[in-house]
């Protein structure tokens, strides 16, 4: 038996279960600094006997980073990771949502779709590109899955190198220090741990009471390894996952429709959301606004007949080859045996108490955090850090904020004369004093790459005065951020016309 620590990760407060994988790494890095201080603390005592110092349930980015960091302090660590197949039978390897069915394959498909746009632009730059280009879906998915599997293997090697024990089994609580492990073949074992971290993440939801949804619909758990070309695609939902997937499906040449119940990108700045969807509609993606699915029926030719209705009761229908649901995610907490602990779940299934921490001092959860930089990888990327304009007004009052903004045209668009109507930047600032920047938003090519540096500036308390005194790197899209000088309050045309 291995001696473990009394107490626990006391500083691992304000944790919630993972619900948005694109924000995980920022949370992870913050928690690792806390973990490092705790593990290296001289008060870390060997007061009780357990099989492991730390057990991590969940093998995603947060869980793996936590396990490896703890092992670096010569602690005995075990990681449990098991993926229940999706309703369509999709499974994957070690690495969690980000590696397998999230950030990594999504960005690669996004890039593949941009290549098609680039081939169109290439003609204007003198390249003799044929008018008709064709996609091999099997080659594309094969290449992406090959990379994903290399990452799966790499994570296993890293755990082995750190002497972290990895078990491909499902963990649940017997009591607050004892974990039962159920293997794929049904065999069960158990162990004890001084400290336990829950990093189980979340899985896509299906809508309630929509006949045929689970039987015939797929989610983001399935699209990245879909064996056949998606064909005519219907994406249901207005989340960032929905818009990203609709964007790359259309960009790859598949007719794509998006069905939205209310608004898109809830929780994001809504002016920016409208720019994103305006660009998507202008590119040929059809949006069914204020519609909800009624049922899905499979036809004899294997196509899917979808019926929907509006809030006013009007009905419609269409034929599709693929129907994908992106209507939100739910935490993977229902099978953790938390009823054998003092942990109570929120209505949304998250591990929360006061300040979003577990009420059991040695059981912790790793999840996402608010107001960090993020990017939506739609055809026209949208990246932001800090507050939306709506939230800034709600928090500070409209008269206490100043919004500087500009429409701009990327130089790359000039020769091909590509439309730049939705390329836009705004800085949401406090109106008083040196005007601290409390939100920064950009739509345009490479928005995510641009935002990374500015995110540090915003985090460090950058002001509008500092931003406007920074020399822009010419000719880049990023330089437009430091050239903002028109306020919304002025009512002047914010279109950039020159230096």
Calculate the CA 251 to chain-centre distance.
20
Q: Dihedrals φ, ψ of 70, to 5°?
A: -65, -40
Structural domains present in the chain: 2-94+141-204+329-365 (3.50.50.60), 213-325 (3.50.50.60), 380-487 (3.30.390.30)
List the catalytic residues.
474
Q: Which residue has the tokens 């390329």?
A: 423
Helices (H), 174-282: 213-216, 220-223, 240-251, 270-282
Supply 209's token pair.
Answer: 């009471």
- In SS3 terms, the chain reads as CEEEECCCCCCCCCCCCCCCHHHHHHHHHHHHHHHHHHHHCCCCCEEEEECEEEEEECCCHHHHHHHHHHHCCCCCEEEECCCCCCCCCCCCCCCHHHHHHCHHHHHHHHHHHHHHHHHHHHHHCCCCCCCCCCCCHHHHHHHHHHHHHHHHHHHHHHHHHCCCEEECCEEEEEECCEEEEECCCCCEEEEEEEEEEECCCEEECCCCCCCCHHHHCECHHHHCCCCCCCCCEEEECCCHHHHHHHHHHHHCCCCEEEEECCCCCCCCCHHHHHHHHHHHHHCCCEEEECEEEEEEEECCCCCEEEEEEECCCCEEEEEECEEEECCCEEECCCCCCHHHCCCCECCCCCECCHHHCCCCCCEEECCCCCCCCEEECCCCCEEEEECCHHHHHHHHCHHHEEEEEEECCCHHHCCCCCCCCCCEEEEEEECCCCCEEEEEEEECCCHHHHHHHHHHHHHCCCEHHHHHCCCCCCCCCHHHHHHCCEECCCCCCCECCCC
β-bridge partners, 324: 218, 235
215, two tokens: 């039987």
Q: Which pLDDT belongs to residue 499?
A: 61
Label the pairing between strands 291-298 and 286-289: unpaired
Q: Return the pLDDT at 352.
A: 57
C-alpha 184: how far from chain center? 28
Residue 32 host element (H or E): helix 24-40
Q: What is the rounded CA–CA span in Å between residue 436 and residue 422?
A: 26
Name beta bridge partners: 365.
198
pLDDT of residue 9: 32
**pLDDT truncated to tens, each residue of the chain (499 aa)?**
333 333 333 333 233 233 333 334 444 555 555 455 545 543 344 446 899 999 999 999 889 999 999 999 999 999 999 999 999 999 999 999 999 999 999 999 999 999 999 999 999 999 999 988 999 999 999 999 999 999 999 999 999 999 999 999 999 999 999 999 999 899 999 999 999 999 888 899 999 899 999 999 999 999 999 999 999 999 999 999 999 999 999 999 999 999 999 999 999 999 999 999 999 999 999 999 999 999 999 999 999 999 999 988 899 999 999 999 999 988 888 888 888 988 877 666 666 554 445 678 888 887 543 348 899 999 999 999 999 999 999 999 999 999 999 999 999 999 999 999 999 999 999 999 999 999 999 999 999 999 999 999 999 999 999 999 999 999 999 999 999 999 999 999 999 876 6
Beta partners for 167? 80
- The backbone torsions φ and ψ at residue 354, rounded to the nearest 5 degrees and listed phi first, read -65, 140
């Amino acid at each position: 038996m291995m001696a473990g620590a009394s107490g626990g990760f006391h500083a691992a407060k304000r944790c919630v279960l993972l619900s948005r994988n694109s924000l995980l790494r920022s949370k992870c890095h913050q928690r690792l600094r806390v973990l490092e201080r705790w593990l290296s603390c001289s008060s870390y005592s060997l007061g009780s006997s357990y099989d492991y110092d730390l057990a991590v349930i969940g093998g995603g980015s947060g869980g793996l980073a936590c396990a490896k960091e703890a092992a670096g302090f010569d602690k005995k660590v075990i990681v449990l990771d098991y993926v229940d197949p999706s309703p369509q039978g999709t499974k994957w390897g070690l690495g969690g949502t980000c590696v397998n069915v999230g950030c990594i394959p999504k960005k690669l498909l996004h890039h593949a779709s941009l290549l098609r746009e680039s081939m169109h632009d290439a003609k204007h730059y003198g390249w003799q590109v044929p008018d008709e280009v064709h996609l091999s879906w099997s080659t594309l998915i094969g290449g992406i899955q090959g990379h994903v599997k290399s990452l799966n293997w790499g994570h296993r090697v890293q755990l082995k190198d750190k002497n972290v024990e990895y078990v491909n089994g499902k963990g649940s609580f017997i009591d607050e220090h004892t974990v039962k492990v159920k293997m794929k073949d049904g065999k069960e074992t158990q162990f004890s741990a001084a400290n336990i971290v829950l990093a189980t993440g979340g899985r896509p939801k299906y809508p309630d009471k929509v006949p045929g949804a689970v039987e015939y619909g797929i989610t983001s758990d399935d699209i990245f390894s879909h064996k056949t070309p998606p064909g005519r695609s219907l994406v249901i939902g207005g989340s960032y996952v929905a818009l990203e997937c609709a964007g790359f499906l259309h960009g790859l040449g598949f007719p794509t429709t998006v069905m939205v119940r209310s608004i898109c990108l809830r929780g994001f700045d809504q002016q920016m959301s409208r720019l994103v969807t305006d660009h998507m509609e202008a590119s040929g993606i059809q949006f069914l606004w204020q519609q909800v699915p009624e049922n899905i029926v499979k036809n004899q030719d294997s196509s899917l007949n979808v019926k929907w209705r509006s809030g006013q009761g009007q009905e419609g229908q269409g034929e599709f080859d693929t129907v994908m649901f992106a209507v939100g995610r739910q935490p993977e907490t229902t099978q953790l045996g938390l009823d054998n602990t003092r942990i109570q779940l929120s209505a949304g299934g998250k591990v929360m108490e006061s300040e979003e921490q577990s009420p059991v001092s040695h059981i912790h959860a790793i999840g996402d955090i608010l107001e960090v930089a993020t990017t939506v990888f739609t055809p026209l990327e949208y990246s932001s850090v800090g507050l939306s304009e709506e939230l800034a007004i709600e928090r500070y009052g409209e008269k206490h904020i100043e919004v500087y903004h500009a429409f701009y045209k990327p130089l790359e668009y000039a020769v091909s004369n590509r439309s730049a109507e939705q390329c836009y930047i705004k800085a949401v600032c406090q109106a008083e004093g040196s005007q601290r920047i409390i939100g920064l938003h950009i739509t345009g090519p490479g928005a995510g790459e641009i935002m990374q540096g500015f995110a540090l500036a915003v985090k460090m308390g950058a002001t509008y005065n500092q931003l406007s005194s920074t020399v822009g790197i010419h000719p880049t899209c990023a330089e437009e951020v430091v050239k903002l000088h028109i306020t919304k309050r002025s009512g002047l045309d914010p279109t950039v016309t020159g230096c």
